Every structure is written in structure tokens, then in C-alpha cells.
Amino acid sequence: MGNSGKVEANRWEEINAACDALSETEEELTREMVMRLADKWSLWTLAILAEEDGPLRFTRLMERVEGVSQKSLTKTLRALERDGLITRQIFAEVPPRVEYTITALGLELLSHVEPLWNWVARSVPQFQRTRQEFEAR
Amino acid sequence: MGNSGKVEANRWEEINAACDALSETEEELTREMVMRLADKWSLWTLAILAEEDGPLRFTRLMERVEGVSQKSLTKTLRALERDGLITRQIFAEVPPRVEYTITALGLELLSHVEPLWNWVARSVPQFQRTRQEFEAR
DNA sequence: CCCATTGGTTACCTCCGGGTACCTACGCGC
DNA sequence: GCGCGTAGGTACCCGGAGGTAACCAATGGG
């Protein structure tokens, strides 16, 4: 526990070093991005678009991202588009048709999210045990 | 962009498969953990404890985690302790002394957060550019 | 003429994270 | 007896996230 801790701590210092290389506003932007991506719907929506491997219409998307409201989905999609993680293509038809597609950047992001997510998923039993012990304390 | 997209999509399907292997409540727990860790202070606090490579007292911690309020730090620390990411040792002294230490689990978590964080930090210029284009549209 | 469809937008409401301010318990030095 | 310092707890307030429901524009079908 002692020496392995030191190794991990050094790794984390690398992150801090990487952050220091950025200007203050850029570090804030990093923080902002991380927190924005961890909101209720962004990653889920992105994952749906990734597994589809093709464009999806708004209504279709709302069916797949179970439980999301129109309003929240709109907002989420605008934010994802703004950051270049998805594209939004409007067709001048009636009734209107809008297609959303994940970008290369979006797929790259997901590929970096995956290991962390998998680790958390694998560690869930550990967390459950720890919580029970904590509760029973 | 076409075939690399397919590769990434398959990777993401692995995540979904990993999630399906868990019960529904466990999947919710995964989601909950990810979102909890992405809150305003958890990761930051954890990082401070990691770089310290030793115990830290409450007041000390509040100085380092710049901008956190007493209330929020208390809450954050309780949550981290509950999940076994840090330990909390109370000394029966006056004035009271409480020491917080990161656990092996906490360090492991940080090591898995690091690549994602680094990628986001590296991609910040890209995000800035994309946003400017979006704004100017 | 009426209505359904699609992709929103808007008003309204509630919940919760997080901030400030103030309180406590305790033993110490004065 | 009085303040001081530590590690919180508690009450109150504000803003923002996110849900619901109603409305809208344009047009093809009946």
C-alpha cells in the first residue's frame, strides 16, 4: 500500500503538470468539459449515436435515450454539437427532418471514457461492500 | 472516418456488454458513481490527497482545495469515505484532530481517470476552435 | 377545412447542489 | 470567566438542472 501509493501519486502529478502547461482559462475549460460530459444525458446520447454507427433522427433518439425529455435532449444535442462531438443536419422538408451523427472526435472521446467506465463497473461490488460496512459502522 | 468509426463503435458496445452483465441496480450504481465522481470537488480533493502522499487535516485540505466551503468539503469527504476512496481517522484530542488519507482504491481510481483527463486537456484547443466556429455560424 | 406529424420553444414548477452565516464541544492559556 | 482554535452541524437562501405541458410552423392526407 505504501510504495504503490507513491507510484500512483506520481502519475497524478503528471496530470497536474499537464494542467499547469495550460493557461488558467484553459484549465477551467478542461474542468468544465469533464463536468459537462458527466451530466445526466451527454455520454448516454453519445453512446447511442456510437452504437448506431449512422445518423439518427430526433424522435428516434428520444426513444433510445430512455427517460430523457424533449427539452433536455435538445439542450444536450446542442451542447454536443457546439463541442464538435456530433453533427446536426437539417433537411428542408415537411414534416421537418433532422439527423444527428457522431463525429470522429466524439468516437475518440468515447474510446477514452471506456476504460474508466469499465473500471468503475468492475469495482461496483467493492463499492457495495464498502458502503455496507460504512452503513453498519 | 468511416471504418475507424466502426472500430470505436464496437469498443463502445463492449462497454454496453459489460453493463448488461450487471444487474439493473448495479448499473444504476455505476452511473451514480461516475456522476458522483464528476461533481465539483470529489476528484479535486482526491487529487490533493494523492499528491500529498500522506494524511491531511481538515483545515489543511480546505486551504488546498481552493474555493471549497466547509459544508461542501465535509460532504465530499463523507462520500469519499463511504465509498472507500479515503479513510478518516479521528484523534480524541482538544482541539479535535481528524486526518484524511487516500486509499489504494482511491489511487487506482485516479490512475484510471488520468488518461481521460489528459485527453480532454490535450483536446481543449480543438474544443475552443469548434466553439468559435459554432458561435460564428 | 381539419388534423396529424416533426422538431422544437417557452412558461411554469420542483428539486437539489452549494454558498453564507451562525452554533456547538472541548480544553488550553491568560 | 473569557476568548481561541478545530471539526464540524444546522438554518436559510439562491441559482440552475431538468421535468411537464402547451404552443408553433408548414404541409400532405382525408
B95, closest nucleotide (Cα–C1'): D6
> Which residue ranges make up each domain of chain A?
1-37, 41-136
Residues 6+ apart with CB under 8 A from A54: A101
Tell me the one-letter amino acid at A102: I
Collapse the DSSP code of A97 into the 3-class scheme (helix H, G, I; strand E, B; otherwise coil) and give the result. Answer: strand
| pLDDT score of A6 more than 70 | no
> Please, which pLDDT band fits residue B137 given cuts at 50, 70 and 90?
confident
pLDDT at A88: 97
Rounded mean pLDDT, B1-23: 56
Distance CA B81, CA A90 (A): 48
Distance CA A90, CA A77 (A): 13
Rounded mean pLDDT, B119-125: 93
Ranges A44-53, B5-14, B83-92: which has the least confidence: B5-14
| pLDDT score of B24 more than 80 | no
Q: What is the mean pLDDT of chain B?
A: 86
Q: A20-33: per-residue pLDDT in tens? A: 555 566 777 788 88
Q: Specify the pTM.
A: 0.83
Asked if A124 contacts B31 with a C-beta cutoff of 8 angstroms, the reply is no
Distance CA B84, CA B40 (A): 19
Strongest mean pLDDT among A15-24, A39-48, B26-35: A39-48
> Please, which pLDDT band fits residue B71 given cuts at 50, 70 and 90?
very high
Distance CA B137, CA B131 (A): 10
Q: How far is A118 from chain B (nearest CA, A)?
A: 7
Of B38, B40, B16, nearest to B113 by C-alpha is B38
CATH architecture of the domain formed by A41-136: Orthogonal Bundle (1.10)
More confident site: B53 or A78:
A78
CB-CB under 8 Å, B120 with A11: no
- Give the CA radius of gyration of chain B: 19
> Please, which pLDDT band fits residue B121 given cuts at 50, 70 and 90?
very high
CB-CB under 8 Å, B112 with A105: no
Distance CA A48, CA A61 (A): 8
pLDDT at B12: 59
Q: Which of B5, B110, B131 sits opposite A107 (nearest CB)?
A: B5
> Please, which pLDDT band fits residue A2 given cuts at 50, 70 and 90?
very low
pLDDT at A1: 41
Q: Minimal Cα distance from B37: which residue of A?
A: A38
Distances (CA, A) of B42 to A29, A39, A58, B65, B94: 18, 15, 34, 10, 28
Chain A residues in contact with B52 (beta carbon < 8 A)? 9
Q: Could you tell me the fold of the domain covering B40-136?
A: Arc Repressor Mutant, subunit A (1.10.10)
Distance CA B33, CA B54 (A): 25
Q: What is the mean pLDDT of chain A?
A: 85
Asked if B86 contacts B46 with a C-beta cutoff of 8 angstroms, the reply is yes
| pLDDT score of B19 more than 60 | no
Q: Determine the distance between A94 (CA) and D28 (C1') in angstroms.
A: 9
